Structure 1
Amino acid sequence: MAQPRPEFIIDSWDFSSHPAQPIDQDFNAQPNRWFHIQRDLPGISEWLLSVGIPEPLIGAVLEEDTRPRFERNNDGFLLILRGVNLGEGERPEDMLSVRILYYKGAIYSFRKRPLRSVGRLREQLQQQQGPESLQDLVVMLVEELNDRLEELLDVVEAEMERLEGDDNGSTAERQRQLTQLHKRMLRLVRFVRPQMTAIERLASDAPKWLDPENVQWLVNERDSVQRELESLEMLLEQVWMLREHLQQDVAEKMNRNTYWLSVIAGVFLPISFLTGVFGINIGGMPGVEHEHAFWIFCGALGIIAVVEFLLLRRLRFW
């Protein structure tokens, strides 16, 4: 009697022959098999125990919050990676976790939400293409994760170039967009940096499980992650440079406006003083009985203003 597929097993493939064949029954752990598992459904722990997975490894793959890492054990390794979140309405920089457990010749991968990179591999297998062995599966999954990350970095870099070349937008709006872009990059760096370390450690230990060709492919992917991390760090430096440039522009505008206000106040200070004095409504004010006194006073104020203007100009106040 055929064994029903457990609800938590999303997909399963047997790589004992080429091309790989889907597993429709006998969902027991055997070498050269891949089980892709939905990790938030009941019954997973019991099934993993029944196929011989130690409890500490079960706890590691089912843990809710993880960061990228690589751990070797006597019978294989645990690799936890993050992939770009390409779900509809989601933020790509909120990277999704995929846990890969290689144990006694079989691979178990765990997800909570769909990951496009794993979905592409499953589609290729359904078309009798894609990885030819479990070794290829690990390397191609790392490659898919790197490709999606590189595509996201291209978008971030294009957005950065747009902000740098936007001389017509308001400073406040540019600063707001720059802050949002900065937050996105910080979320990426949070996972990409430990991911590079995890892949680097996997590449160092890879000769124990992978053939020389796949080891070299994995080394290439490690270099790709290193390059992506360096690109992120360079973009973060550009963010700080552009932020300082915008702040300097704001400071220069404030200084220039303050300067001109000071010049105007300096020109009108003696004029205001005279108008205040002659505005006193008490007896004895000169010119009260003179019919042309007002116009004479206005002319005197104008002459004072011109003299002050020429004096400030001569002293190179601007």
Structure 2
Amino acid sequence: MTTTDPAMTGQPSFIIDQWDFTATPAQRQDGLIDSLAGRWIHCQRDQAGLDEWLDRLGIHSGLRQAVLAEDTRPRFEEVPGGFLLILRGVNLTPGAEPDDMLSLRLLWYKDGLISLRKWPFKAISSVRETLEQGKGPTTLDALLVTILEAINLRIDELLEAQELELEELEAIDHITNPQQHLTRLTQLHRRLLRLDRFIRPQVGALERMAIDAHAWLGHRELQLLSNQRDTTMRILETIEMLLQQIQLVRDELQQDLAERMNRNTYWLSVIAGIFLPLGFLTGLLGINVGGMPGVEDPRAFWLTCSALAVVAVVEFLLLRRLRFFGK
């Protein structure tokens, strides 16, 4: 993808990219603008000068704080002149955890769209690539739906990878290394919980937007928005299904571990039950006091061993009769 250096184009450092949708196809613009109508401005929200520019556009301080806040959850909110939509997308930055979801703020204001991010967003990059090729959306409302679609697409890709990992864990003979198996299940469970934390409110935000966005979006885009809301709902249902599946696999694994422990404890108890009277007899015969029978008889050792063997066999048959173990 072709990149543009803001310093070379005269753009402020907080503007990553901007496009004019009053032309068809949309055209990239350079320089600082004070009119948003028909334009998309993609911004780096932690750069100096952004707050002053938003203030100059007439955006009140409360809304500026909302779009520049460090920690936010997905939500939709109507504001004077438009709406604010805060979304979360997967983190596909090399070396990062995908489930450590990134925040994207979309501010529709005075018929223009401002998007703000802190870290690179692969979904936004893909939209910019299509615009550079002249194949992207031709209107701002279509652009908004395209961004939602790109975000959901990458979340879907991540969930497919999680499903494959879970299928692999189910196929592995976990009895050979149950502790490692349980550790991988716990890690997968933790990743899905982090996804669930943000996707759940994201569904609510898109549901509210689908109800209230008729003032800004056309009929076709409203239908596409409803589709993306349904897609997000399906993603949430997939996460819930995977969480339940992980719990089932974990329960099965823990049951196998408990059965193995019970089996080992059982056999130890059987062995201890057999050798307890034998140990008592050998201990009794081993005391060093006068009057012990057989001390002078060379056959006494073998007679004692035979008697102990008979006692062991009788105990074995008795335990079997009492169904301490299968026949």
How would you bin the TM-score normalised by the shorter chain? over 0.9
Larger mean Cα displacement after TM superposition, 239-248 or 146-155: 239-248
Structure 1 residue runs of 5 or longer lacking an equivalent are none
Q: Distance in 1 between matches of 2:180 and 2:72?
A: 35
Q: Which residue of 2 is the match for residue 258 of structure 1?
A: 265
CA shift at 1:161, angstroms?
A: 1.2
Alignment of structure 1 residues 87-236 onto 2, 5 Å: 87-168=93-174, 169-236=176-243
Alignment of structure 1 residues 259-274 onto 2, 5 Å: 259-274=266-281
- AA paired with 2:35? A
- AA paired with 1:246? L
Is 2:275 the counterpart of 1:275? no
- AA paired with 2:160? D
CA shift at 1:129, angstroms?
A: 1.5
Misfit runs of 4+, over 2 Å:
none
Q: Distance in 1 between matches of 2:47 and 2:238?
A: 38
Q: Distance in 2 between matches of 1:52 and 1:119?
A: 28
CA shift at 1:25, angstroms?
A: 3.5
Instruction: Check the 8 A contact 1:67/1:81 in 2, yes or no.
Output: yes
TM score, norm. by length of structure 2: 0.95
CA shift at 1:224, angstroms?
A: 0.5
Aligned mate of 1:52, from 54, 58, 65: 58
Are residues 153 and 82 of structure 1, via their aligned partners in 2, closer, same or farther at CA, if it must alter by over 3 Å? same
Number of equivalenced pairs = 316
Q: Distance in 1 between matches of 2:83 and 2:30?
A: 26
Q: Distance in 2 between matches of 1:105 and 1:72?
A: 14
Report the aligned-residue RMSD: 1.1
Q: Distance in 1 between matches of 2:133 and 2:38?
A: 19
TM score, norm. by length of structure 1: 0.97
- AA paired with 1:100? L
CA shift at 1:160, angstroms?
A: 1.0
Instruction: Check the 8 A contact 1:5/1:27 in 2, yes or no.
Output: no
Q: Distance in 2 between matches of 1:118 and 1:130?
A: 12
Q: Which residue of 2 is the match for residue 39 of structure 1?
A: 45
Q: Which residue of 2 is the match for residue 10 of structure 1?
A: 16
Q: Distance in 2 between matches of 1:156 and 1:4?
A: 44
Q: Distance in 2 between matches of 1:252 and 1:143?
A: 47
Identity of aligned residues (%): 55
Q: Which residue of 2 is the match for residue 248 of structure 1?
A: 255
Structure 2 residue runs of 5 or longer lacking an equivalent are 1-8
SS state at 1:16 partner? coil
CA shift at 1:26, angstroms?
A: 5.1
Instruction: Check the 8 A contact 2:130/2:136 in 1, yes or no.
Output: yes
